[in-house]
Structure 1
Amino acid sequence: MKYNITNLLYSVSLVLIFFTSFQLSAQEQVVRGQVIDAGTKEPILGATVIEQDAENRTVTGVVTDFDGNFAIRIKSNSNKLVISTIGYTTQTLEIGAIRAFSVELVEKVEGLDEIVITGSKGSDDGLLNIADRNLTTSVVTVKATDIQNTQAASIDEALQGRVPGVDITANSGDPGAGMQIRIRGTSSITGSSDPLIVVDGMPYETSIPEDFNFGTADQQGYAALLNVAPADIESITILKDAAATAMWGSRAAAGVLIINTKRGSVGAPKIGYSFTGTVQKMPNTIPMLNGDQYSQLIPEAYMNRTGTPLNTLTVKEFQYDPQEVYYYKNYGNNTDWVDAITQTGLTGEHNISLQGGGERARYYSSVGYYNSKGVTKGTAYERLNGRLNLDYVVSDRIRFKADISYTHTDTDRNYVNGTSNGADRLRSVAYVKMPNMSIYEYDDFGDITPNYFSPAANIQGQYAGTYNPVAMAEFATNNQIGERIVPHFNLKVDLVPDRLISTFDIQYDFNSTKAKSFLPQNATGRPFTETVVNRASDADVDATSITTKTNFIYTPSLGDKHSFQSILSLQSNDYRYESHQALTSNTASSLLTDPSVPSRTQNSDLQLYTNNSQSRNVAALINAQYGYDDRYLINVGLRADGNSKFGPDNRYALFPSISTRWRISAEKFMENLDWVDDFSMRASLGQSGRAPRYDYRYFNIYSNYASEYLGMNGIYPSNIQLNNLRWETLTGTNLGFNVQLFDKRVMMDIDLYKNRTKDLLFQNIDITSISGYSSLSDQNVGVLDNQGWEIGLYTTPFKNDKWTIDFNFNISRNQNVIREISEFYPNESGNIDRNGEYKRFLQVDNPFGSFYGYKFKGVYSDLESTKALDANGNVIVGPNGQEVYMRFNYPNIDYTFQPGDAIYEDINKDGNIDSRDIVYLGNSNPKFTGGFGPSFSYNKQFKLQLFFTYRLDYDIINGTDMITTNMYGFDNQSTAVLSRWRNPGDVTDIPRAIYRGGYNWLGSSRYVEDASFLRFRSATFSYNFSKNFIKSLKLDDLNLYFTADNIMTFTKYRGQDPEVNMRGGDPFGIAIDYSRTPPTRRFTLGLRTRF
């Protein structure tokens, strides 16, 4: 952290020195004056008054106050004063010996509208500045004004469903949870498939280090874009095809999200303020058994397994004897645990900004505060953010920018014990918690106490996943605090006016994240001697990134029919981090929550951990675009990347790109079609690369043993030296069409693409122990294809003086297929012989994210139905002439199916359900994604916007259904089990209850569901107050709006919510619904004004 603070102080000092240098003067001379309107004689607020020297270089400057007055400290009497503001003619005055001026500015003839229309809409991504109509690649831009009335903590949530080819899903409905962004599918099996984020032309580090161990924190749920306040964003541009992303190098293989923040404008200072208040409600949950129904289920399950009744003399949780007051009161309830941990969520957000400037200096500054309490108790998110964007014209040829942003975040999450399957999460625990158990403890006299009922043990268990969920929500803590500051400086010099421009950018990114969790004794009820008691974790990471970019942009004038732009860009990035973690237990008191106090670290699951690492990336880019006669455009680029994560032989790589655009509508044969505004065809081909996850893997790394011998610790090699690791390379082709008709009343963008990723990086791959190692950190193993198409339709079907009706629609189709996979490394995972697990393969010609298992056929209604049948439908007869009954995994397990057990299809008709009966069940990649919605505007005051999102034809595993219908242990079950098999002859699809026995919940098609959905995502009604009313309040604008989010979801999925994604970074990851908090139903009232 010392390194970060030192650099931060240097950066702030440089900014202060730069700006104060313009105001330092050896001569203490002050010139005063007033600026007024020559016609009305009214004072002019915000006029710029600058001192210029003989070479027209700016020396210092000020702006006028509310009365038009100014006072400026000048350097030399021989200089001049330049007074200017928007809408008025600039005046230049010689200073000489005059110390007081009265300046009258004359209003210009041309108005603001004439100024605005001279500009052209373009895509400013920090490289070439190309007008949108001349783009040769697949690019989509979304204005912040299009989504400003949505209620979202981060901009990626607001973009959900609005951009074709961009699939955005929520990791959780808890405050501060992240969104998973996939542009044109999953392009890597273990590398990051998240897009590169670029803010104001510079790459933005969006996450904590991937190999940082958060312990009990949820790394996957970390929200990458929460550090960028939506209120500060001007526009978002998404680069989708490989030719566009190739310009951004090794971190852009999965696409690029370019964010441009708001900047100052010429004019009087304007204050903007916005407020939103949101109420959040939990959607309908899965109905569960009450205490009475549960008390009937458990004895039945026990009887089916043992053949004897449950002994309630020893199992007093089901005794229900009024004489046993303590057990009768504490285990005689009908508790809805899910409802008990659910609350009404509240969110409030305030943003205030100041924007203005003159022709020389412009500024935008903002402060925002966001606070959200989640619908699950114990969850909350708080953010304080500030931004200052300064633009200064030093002279006609030199311009300077300085941007500084700061974000403080404070996130509270529910405590988790680090289990990988998600069954330990609070809402999952609440679903299966014994419903006959009381939330609060009753004493021996039957009186309720204020203490949560957390017994040391009961029939349900005594470990993680069985604790009182309400006590866990209140007492167990899991907190993350983030501090981030990002100063960015830009210097732009016109080396040859109107020909050659040079820009230099440097950005420092200081990001400190601290995760702290504590599991106290009163949340578990366990004895103080156990390591789960007073378990304290303290983890922090300090990440620092220094990025530079030097551009030389050449734009010669080649005549009316020719256009040309070229750029040489030299870039570098130095990223380093330090992390520390302490995980201990048995602190002396539940009030001592820090692991630094005396506590235990002897157990294998307790640890002290530290790590530091550094990686560097350098790049050179050459890119040029030529256009002829506004019809033919070609863009050619070549990027060279060097990355320190590779060995010397493969450290550098070249990534070329070429793209073209043919404006067909400009051809002579189209000139009579006046209703065609633009019709263009694009084609592109490009490459981009991806570096491995870990640093230093081309070295042999040694680790030390934890144990001692003769007072010394030994060391051992912890990895195989990887000298031949290659870049994971994505090659993409794209064919696109852009159509604009009827004065842009109808616009359509169509793209067809195919991306192939070669040399797929497989992380932490298991290898034979003969090598002396258990795994390889990275290895190149195969080829993955993503191909599909996208359509975006933007229409204005009706428009007159009063009414405007718009309708937008987008749809995307993506197909993901593994083409090659190495046979020398493991390509499967999952033990299908156990209940609750699915088989996962990396299988050629099947999609990534596929899962395999048994085909569920129903329930054996009686003993006769359990007989094994051959391919002809005849009963299989054993060697002694006996009839054979269906068995499971003979001879390894040899379980004989009984009436009431689940039926699995015997694919090979051998009477034995085993690995030869495993079939492909589905995959978690949606075939179609998109969104659509109309908007209705009346008199430019009333506006109604409706928006729908959808994901179609994809499969997920209903893990919640699996754990709430298996009737395997003492967990509570859903009301679906009320139709379970009970007696011979029963016809049902719910197997019998059997305690710790049977194979009724094997990984099978029973829990695989089509999660297709159509969601009524939002409805917004907004009202812009009339100009007369606004003027009477001395405001520039005033807008009031009401938004309802996640109003209704149309789906056949039986779980809480169908929006479940594959967890990133796992080569065998599949989409499993473990009852995380679903997206909440939200109702927002918002206000926005400017004055």
Structure 2
Amino acid sequence: MKTPFYTSIFLVLCSFLLLRSAAAQTIVQGRITDKSDKQAVIGATVIEQDKDKRTVTGVSTDINGNFAIRISNTNNKLVVSSIGYKTFTSGPIGKQTTINVVLEPSASSLGEVNITASKTVSTGGLNISKRNSTAATATLNAKDVEDLAVSSIDQALQGRLSGVDFGTTSGDPGAGMSIRIRGTSSITGNANPMIVLDGMPYETEIPADFNFGTADDQGYAQLLNIAPSDIKDITVLKDAATTALWGSRAANGVLIINTKRGTIGKPVITYNFKGSVSVQPNPIPLLSGDQYSMLIPEEFMNATGVPLDFLGNSGQNKAFQYDPSDPFYYYNYSNNTDWAGLVTRNGTIQDHNMSISGGGEKARYYASVGYYNNLGTTVGTALNRLTSKINLDYIVSEKLRFRTDLTYTHVVNNLNYSSGIRDIAFRKMPNMSPYLYDEYGTLTSAYFSPESNIQGKYSSTYNPLAMANEGSSKLYGERITPKFSVIYDVIPNVLQSTFDVQFDINNTKSKTFLPQIATGRPSTDVNVNRATDNDGDSYNIASKFNLIYTPRFNSDKHQLSALMSFQTNESRSASYGVTSTNTASSYLQDPSVPSLVNIDGLNLQSTQGLSRDIGLLAQAQYEYLDRYIISLNARMDGNSKFGPDNRYGIFPGISGRWRVSGEPFMKKTTKFIDELSVRFSYGASGKAPGGSYFNTYKPLDWSYAGRAAIVPTNMELSSLKWETVVGKNLGFNLVLLKNRITLDAEIYQNTTKDMYYPGLNISTVTGFNKIDMNVGTMDNDGWELSLYTVPLKTKDWTVNFDFNIARNTNSMRSISDFYPRESSVGVPAQGNYKSYLILGNPFGSYYGFKFKGVYKDKAATVARDQDGKPIIGPNGQTIYMRYNYPQVDYVFQPGDAMYEDVNKDGNIDYMDMVYLGNGVPKFVGGFGPTISYKGGIKLSVFFSYRLGYQIVNLARMNTTRMYNWDNQSAAVLSRWRKPGDITNMPRALYNEGYNWLGSDRYVEDASFYRLSAVNISYSLKNSVVKRLRLSSLRFNLTGQNLFTWTKYTGQNPDVNTAGSSNPFSYPKDNALTPLSRTFTLGVTAGF
């Protein structure tokens, strides 16, 4: 009987202890509101304070102003604070379990903008408030672009972040953007910034040896695996002293993306849907079949002097005879086909996202799932994406906290087999039928794809509709990124340690297939039933350990923060590829299917890559009198991509801030000057090569001494140096009139030293034909200006207006003597431009001839000297203008293109080539107002612009050259036809003459202003929403890319001008899918 008795006593004692513990851990709930408008105060800090005014624990209010805090001692007090309000302090909590607080606005409140300014800046180092930051940064709240219909967030950012230029590569679904922060800093043109997601590096590089078919680093969107709806904000780091914090991948700048996390409060479920329709801009007006049929005989007559009928019954002639007695040619070549229209359609977008967030004192969570479907405006293109994300925060104790993040993405991207499908559609013979007519004149369902026609064979003149519908190129992506973080306060509020580890597992597959039906070629042709499969796997593990020291001083005059960080990163990649041709059937698209003719059999490829890097960072920031701030940092990087001599690099930085407005002599200005600061920074940031190894090998196709052998593929270079960007920055911050006006200005100078270039051609006497070298120095100078204003703010109305502009100047300072100074193109042949690397000129400059019009008659072709007098030959004969004498010695005729004879020698050659332009915009930026009424109706309008750059309109060149059997634009209707005609359009001339040399005739000013987005949203009143048993309901109507003001004659002036790995490339418009006008209807419901 004793056992039950003692057991009862034990249970009673346990219950008593539990009750005491529960009593000692009272939960207090409440709501914080604004006294002036009774609205919830979001993000207010609620802390438990003991008798010594020490903080015991604390929480923040959620979006409804609610909080819940576990109190350790009921004799303690609650302290509630928020920027812009007076601090509230309660009496002893006692037995209270509900405390509602009304905060009174502070008389010295700095207002709404100051709340934003008080947030910390995500730089990768110390968590410093924006007010005390010494860095050159720009931040965008993702709410500003949440209603835009985009597949990746970079597509919504053009013009919104000062000093950052976003250039489009294509309007196809999933196409990427080129991103340039303060210009192009590398001679290879590959200068995209480092991406950081939730505090850890995010891999965006595609393995160099992986074959994506028509995709490449630019064409495959870097941020496609990050759902825009999960993003909270984006910060760009621009100055070298700050980018150095992130190490060897950050020399081109850093784009930091923070995703949403849970907050204290009851679960909030949000569903968002966006449905869109996309329409391409008006196409280039092209010749009809009838007009084309008149052009071609004229071309032939001008070139040969005989009519096209001279060819008799050849296929070339039959295509224009329209003889009913020959039904094949009559029906299949007597059409008015709009090929561009056939491969163009209206696109559609569906974007669904559902999320849940909430949490209590110990745990907070955010989880989302999304589905995105985009049917592209070019036939055959589409994108499907499934995303899911979970972010968890858990507080174990006052000292220990955990964070766990998990992201999964599945992507299927349908592309055209040929990226030039629209260019072919522009040039395809319009009198041809897309479908085959039989001998009775009946249209069949078979594509009309003759093996050969007067335009040539498959490779350049395929049936674009057949290629769009039947050719296949698909990209499949699976990516999972788990991340785990531990935060431990070794000494609360003094010494904190953090540890983060992230695994990034990414698999990308590409499958392409070109069926016989899309080519018209016989089944034995090498291009028929061509199948490729490529599989690329990458695995990346990154870790970061931080020690953060923030000592407390007896005086408020001094503030010090210090950081030590050790970071590691390991990247592994492997790719496998197989290609086969002539598979047994167009329905058997696997390359393992045996070939009908076994021309080459299977072509197998594989690559592997491994790289490691480590970084050790030290950073400290000291503040004195809240006016003088100095920050020092130094980072040592080690990277396996270098040889042993220069594997490690040290990159220092120093920056500072002087708060002028805090000086005693500025006291009289406090009524209208809220903040006036001057910032400076100086630092260096290193950049490693792109490949995984500094020395590589490959197997031979034949044996040596009866054994298999391998040979080195490159010269081992142990002394290659780090490419280093040394940057200087001077910043200026001004806030006026209670935050109604905020002005940020930056002046910078960045110098890239020891520019790295892979694959420089060298003499083969070394045993190799290429070498990697450090080749020179490049400068990027410029300035940036951002203006944020609140012209109107009343109880009902708020009007904001933002504006930013940036100017970048690029120039080459020095080039190695081993590096070529010009492109391999000699005197430009038809359609080509010459590129030079000239010291003092911008990277990406190109050169050619000056187009002066058309020779109207024979007299106009007479060569003239500097005085304008005719040039007379040694025998007294009249000299007429020639091209490239004596190598070519073509004599210009009436109706030919006229080029400026710069040196007046009567000969158009390389001596007459001049600078024509470059693709570096002089100014980039954006501006627009946001108007809200009673917080329920909101209208935002945003314009973006790029000014002062030139591109080659290759589409116009191809459709106005009148040189072969290609269709041409309607502009050629004004062509020269007879002596005396005054026009700028040369004569039609089949396969003769030099009417489309690389000249300024095709170089156009691509400057533009674009109405990028107009969005109007309406949030229903709470009374209405409650009747629907919802917590919120908002509708929005959005238009994107609505109007573009430009002198450019093509469909889209916003082409990729960032360059490529070829330093002699120049920006060109080759008729890729243009940006579309997109109209979106969206709804967001909260439950």
* Structural mapping, 1:185-334, within 5 Å: 185-190=183-188, 192-310=190-308, 311=311, 313-315=313-315, 316-334=318-336
Separation in 1, partners of 2:319, 2:600: 34
Shift of 1:39: 12
Corresponding residue for 1:155?
153
Shift of 1:825: 2.1
Given the superposition, is the C-alpha separation of residues 408 and 886 from structure 1 closer, same or farther in structure 2, using an over 3 Å criterion?
Answer: same
Separation in 1, partners of 2:601, 2:568: 40
Alignment check: 8 A CA contact 2:28 2:99 kept = no
Shift of 1:594: 1.5
1:925 aligned to which of 898, 920, 926 = 920
Say yes or no: does 1:634 pair with 2:626: no
Q: Deviations over 1:790-809 (max 9, x none)?
A: 00000010111111111111
Separation in 1, partners of 2:27, 2:732: 53
Alignment check: 8 A CA contact 1:849 1:925 kept = yes
Corresponding residue for 1:13?
none
Corresponding residue for 1:779?
773
Corresponding residue for 2:77?
none
Corresponding residue for 2:70?
90
Q: Deviations over 1:512-542 (max 9, x none)?
A: 0001111100000101111110011111210
Structure 2 residue ranges without an equivalent (≥5): 1-17, 32-64, 75-94, 107-111
Corresponding residue for 1:180?
178
* Structural mapping, 1:40-55, within 5 Å: none
- Give the aligned length: 1001
Separation in 2, partners of 1:936, 1:91: 43
Corresponding residue for 2:640?
644
Say yes or no: does 1:1087 pair with 2:1067: no
Say yes or no: does 1:908 pair with 2:903: yes
Shift of 1:602: 7.6
Shift of 1:657: 0.3
User: Per the alignment, in what secondary structure is the counterpart of residue 133 of structure 1?
Assistant: helix
Separation in 2, partners of 1:339, 1:218: 27
Q: Aligned partner of 1:350: which letter?
A: H
User: Per the alignment, in what secondary structure is the counterpart of residue 90 of structure 1?
Assistant: strand
Q: Give the alignment's TM-score, normalised by structure 1.
A: 0.89
Q: Aligned partner of 1:645: which letter?
A: K
Q: Deviations over 1:389-420 (max 9, x none)?
A: 0111111111111100000111011112xxxx
User: Per the alignment, in what secondary structure is the counterpart of residue 455 of structure 1?
Assistant: coil
Alignment check: 8 A CA contact 1:216 1:517 kept = no
Corresponding residue for 2:682?
685
Given the superposition, is the C-alpha separation of residues 245 and 775 from structure 1 closer, same or farther in structure 2, using an over 3 Å criterion?
Answer: same
Given the superposition, is the C-alpha separation of residues 137 and 126 from structure 1 closer, same or farther in structure 2, using an over 3 Å criterion?
Answer: closer
Q: Aligned partner of 1:933: which letter?
A: G
Shift of 1:1055: 0.8
Alignment check: 8 A CA contact 1:191 1:693 kept = no
Shift of 1:563: 1.1
Corresponding residue for 1:599?
595
Q: Deviations over 1:277-297 (max 9, x none)?
A: 000001111000010011111
Separation in 1, partners of 2:103, 2:398: 23
Structure 1 range deviating more: 866-875 or 535-544: 866-875
Alignment check: 8 A CA contact 2:458 2:520 kept = no
1:899 aligned to which of 871, 894, 899 = 894
Q: Give the alignment's TM-score, normalised by structure 2.
A: 0.89
1:344 aligned to which of 326, 343, 346 = 346
Q: Aligned partner of 1:498: which letter?
A: N
Shift of 1:711: 7.3
Q: Aligned partner of 2:392: which letter?
A: L
Alignment check: 8 A CA contact 1:87 1:112 kept = no
Separation in 2, partners of 1:716, 1:487: 40
Given the superposition, is the C-alpha separation of residues 590 and 105 from structure 1 closer, same or farther in structure 2, using an over 3 Å criterion?
Answer: farther
Given the superposition, is the C-alpha separation of residues 350 and 112 from structure 1 closer, same or farther in structure 2, using an over 3 Å criterion?
Answer: farther
Corresponding residue for 1:949?
944
* Structural mapping, 1:607-686, within 5 Å: 607-673=603-669, 674-686=671-683
Given the superposition, is the C-alpha separation of residues 526 and 175 from structure 1 closer, same or farther in structure 2, using an over 3 Å criterion?
Answer: same
Given the superposition, is the C-alpha separation of residues 91 and 184 from structure 1 closer, same or farther in structure 2, using an over 3 Å criterion?
Answer: closer
Structure 1 range deviating more: 562-571 or 1028-1037: 1028-1037
Separation in 2, partners of 1:844, 1:782: 10
* Structural mapping, 1:3-18, within 5 Å: none
Q: Aligned partner of 1:1070: which letter?
A: Y
Shift of 1:1032: 1.8
Corresponding residue for 2:1032?
1037
Separation in 2, partners of 1:959, 1:328: 33
Shift of 1:269: 0.9
Separation in 1, partners of 2:601, 2:128: 56
Say yes or no: does 1:1053 pair with 2:1048: yes
Shift of 1:607: 3.6
Separation in 2, partners of 1:219, 1:254: 16
Given the superposition, is the C-alpha separation of residues 742 and 210 from structure 1 closer, same or farther in structure 2, using an over 3 Å criterion?
Answer: farther
Corresponding residue for 1:108?
99
Q: Deviations over 1:945-986 (max 9, x none)?
A: 111011111100000011111111111100111111111111
Alignment check: 8 A CA contact 1:856 1:905 kept = yes
Shift of 1:445: 0.9
* Structural mapping, 1:449-460, within 5 Å: 449-460=444-455
Structure 1 residue ranges without an equivalent (≥5): 1-29, 41-84, 95-103, 417-423
1:725 aligned to which of 720, 723, 733 = 720
Alignment check: 8 A CA contact 1:584 1:601 kept = no
Alignment check: 8 A CA contact 2:584 2:596 kept = no
* Structural mapping, 1:697-716, within 5 Å: 697=694, 699=695, 701-706=696-701, 715-716=710-711
Separation in 2, partners of 1:112, 1:541: 57
Corresponding residue for 2:1004?
1009
Separation in 2, partners of 1:763, 1:502: 41
1:140 aligned to which of 138, 141, 166 = 138
Structure 1 range deviating more: 910-919 or 475-484: 910-919
Structure 1 range deviating more: 528-537 or 149-158: 149-158
Corresponding residue for 1:836?
831
Alignment check: 8 A CA contact 2:851 2:900 kept = yes
Alignment check: 8 A CA contact 1:601 1:607 kept = no
Corresponding residue for 1:537?
532
Please provide the CA RMSD for this pair.
2.5
Q: Deviations over 1:699-756 (max 9, x none)?
A: 3x33333356897665443211112211110000000111111111100100000000
Corresponding residue for 2:785?
791
Corresponding residue for 1:517?
512
Separation in 1, partners of 2:331, 2:432: 9
Separation in 2, partners of 1:191, 1:255: 14
Corresponding residue for 2:381?
379
Separation in 1, partners of 2:1081, 2:971: 39
* Structural mapping, 1:540-551, within 5 Å: 540-551=535-546
Given the superposition, is the C-alpha separation of residues 114 and 301 from structure 1 closer, same or farther in structure 2, using an over 3 Å criterion?
Answer: same
Alignment check: 8 A CA contact 1:365 1:386 kept = yes
Given the superposition, is the C-alpha separation of residues 396 and 974 from structure 1 closer, same or farther in structure 2, using an over 3 Å criterion?
Answer: same
Alignment check: 8 A CA contact 1:584 1:600 kept = no
Separation in 2, partners of 1:39, 1:761: 60
User: Per the alignment, in what secondary structure is the counterpart of residue 446 of structure 1?
Assistant: coil
Separation in 2, partners of 1:443, 1:219: 45
Structure 1 range deviating more: 553-562 or 467-476: 553-562
Alignment check: 8 A CA contact 1:217 1:415 kept = no
Corresponding residue for 1:358?
360
Separation in 1, partners of 2:289, 2:739: 63
Given the superposition, is the C-alpha separation of residues 524 and 219 from structure 1 closer, same or farther in structure 2, using an over 3 Å criterion?
Answer: farther
Structure 1 range deviating more: 1079-1088 or 578-587: 578-587
Corresponding residue for 2:995?
1000
User: Per the alignment, in what secondary structure is the counterpart of residue 449 of structure 1?
Assistant: strand
Alignment check: 8 A CA contact 1:206 1:224 kept = yes
User: Per the alignment, in what secondary structure is the counterpart of residue 701 of structure 2?
Assistant: strand
Q: Deviations over 1:287-335 (max 9, x none)?
A: 0001001111111111111222112521321120011112111110001
User: Per the alignment, in what secondary structure is the counterpart of residue 1057 of structure 1?
Assistant: coil
Structure 1 range deviating more: 580-589 or 646-655: 580-589
The percent of aligned pairs where both chains have the same amino acid is 53
Shift of 1:122: 1.1
Corresponding residue for 1:74?
none
Separation in 2, partners of 1:759, 1:735: 24
Alignment check: 8 A CA contact 2:205 2:217 kept = no
Shift of 1:994: 1.1
